[in-house]
Amino acid sequence: TFAKITQAAHYVPENVVSNDDLSKIMDTNDEWIYSRTGIKNRHISTGENTSDLATKVAKQLIENSGVDPELIDFIIVATVTPDSMMPSTAARVQAQVGATNAFAYDLTAACSGFVFALSTAEKLISSGAYQRGIVIGAEVFSKVIDWSDRSTAVLFGDGAAGVLLDNSGSQPLIIAEKMQTDGKRGGSLLSSYADIQTPFASVSYEGSNLSMEGRAIFDFAVRDVPKNIQATLEKSDLAAEEIDYYLLHQANSRILDKMAKKLGVTRDKFLQNMQEYGNTSAASIPILLSESVKNGIFSLDGQTKVVLTGFGGGLTWGTAIINL
Ligand SMILES: O=C(O)C1CCN(c2ccc(-c3cc(CO)ccc3Cl)cn2)CC1
């Protein structure tokens, strides 16, 4: 049995916030943001929560495929900004779309979350245990950002995107994969601590907003991620040139420049849309995938070889080389 991605969809809040809009509420400017990150705009929720964005994606996947929601076996949502811990965002989506026979859970791997969740979903199907599932990356990062910290507030955006999978594949969905974690370096990208305030303990963590050691994360991305991609390519017996497109986490356009150079691959193969969405964490890779299908860059006809690579909090990073 082989899993196959049969549908992709994305949804972002309507509210567009430009670099100039941000320069009116914090000490920054379009030139600095665009030259250092490649970001021009980001979509910021005006009240929609993560499950609302994820539900809109799931509804599109179901409507566009015509699948009966009662035939969906599982829903996995990759997010670090859930509406709540209980119920999970995936459980909320399950209720909203009427997937009454689906088990549902969230997966936390920050900006690697979609790749980690897709790897898991592929095993659920290719093992023969289940037939159909939905994998969504969804974030409302605007609710965890420290809006007084211009070094991070300008980088992130809100959004959701995902894929519908079934067992109709005639070839493996994942040709090769390699997922990694280094918890020792996790302190350089933090969010959403929960204090321990009880009759028996009093432990509070300074700031539960996002905090990032930008230089450390940038260097981690440039140093560790190309090695991971190369190691995954070696596992796949494919040369870098045989990959049609590289869909990397949309954190920073200068990082994509460096990746292309390190891998000796033309920059054009590294698709990008952070100019419009900023860094949407777990949603960034699936938004890029869904938009690329919608814009006709490639289709889901099984003829395209794509590298998906996430990297971020944990620290986590990972690549899946897939047949689309
Ligand atoms: O001064 C400059 O040029 C600054 C230097 C710091 N920058 C950074 C640093 C790290 C990230 C980042 C964030 C995540 C979290 O999702 C994951 C992966 C990455 Cl690589 C994005 N931008 C912006 C430009």
Percent of the chain with pLDDT over 90: 99
- pLDDT at residue number 154: 98
Active site residue 279: yes
Pairing verdict, β 316-323 and 189-190? unpaired
pLDDT digits (tens, 9 = 90+) for 255-273: 999 999 999 999 999 999 9
Average pLDDT value for residue range 215-227: 98
- pLDDT at residue number 159: 98
- pLDDT at residue number 194: 92
Percent of the chain with pLDDT over 70: 100
Mean pLDDT (the chain) is 97
Name which residue sits closest to atom 7 of ligand 1, judged by CA.
Answer: 214
Average pLDDT value for residue range 274-300: 98
DSSP state of 174: E
User: Is pLDDT of 235 > 80?
Assistant: yes
The verdict on the CB of residue 34 being under 6 Å from ligand 1 is no
pLDDT digits (tens, 9 = 90+) for 109-156: 999 999 999 999 999 999 999 999 999 999 999 999 999 999 999 999
Does residue 110 sit in helix, strand or coil?
A: helix
User: Is pLDDT of 158 > 90?
Assistant: yes
- Quickly list DSSP for 6-53: EEEEEE--S-EEEHHHHHTTSS--HHHHHHHH---EEE--SS--HHHH
The verdict on the CB of residue 312 being under 6 Å from ligand 1 is yes
pTM of the entire predicted model? 0.98
Considering only CA atoms, which of 40, 107, 59 is closest in space to residue 80?
107
User: Is pLDDT of 86 > 80?
Assistant: yes
Q: How far apart are CA 197 and CA 267, in angstroms?
A: 50
Active site residue 43: no
Considering only CA atoms, which of 26, 22, 34, 311 is closest in space to residue 188?
311
Strand partners, 139: 159
Strand partners, 165: 5, 133
Distance of CA 4 to the CA centre of its chain: 19
The verdict on the CB of residue 280 being under 6 Å from ligand 1 is no
User: Is pLDDT of 214 > 90?
Assistant: yes
pLDDT digits (tens, 9 = 90+) for 36-85: 999 999 999 999 999 999 999 999 999 999 999 999 999 999 999 999 99
Distance of CA 34 to the CA centre of its chain: 21
- Res. 208 pLDDT band, cuts 50 70 90: confident
- pLDDT at residue number 75: 99
Assess: ipTM above 0.90: yes
The catalytically annotated residue of 10, 167, 209, 249 is 249
Mutate to test the pocket of ligand 1, among 79, 224, 252 (most ligand atoms within 8 A of CB): 252
- pLDDT at residue number 206: 80
For 92-96, 159-163, 193-197, 309-313, which range has the lowest pLDDT when averaged over its residues? 193-197
Average pLDDT value for residue range 184-207: 94
User: Is pLDDT of 16 > 90?
Assistant: yes
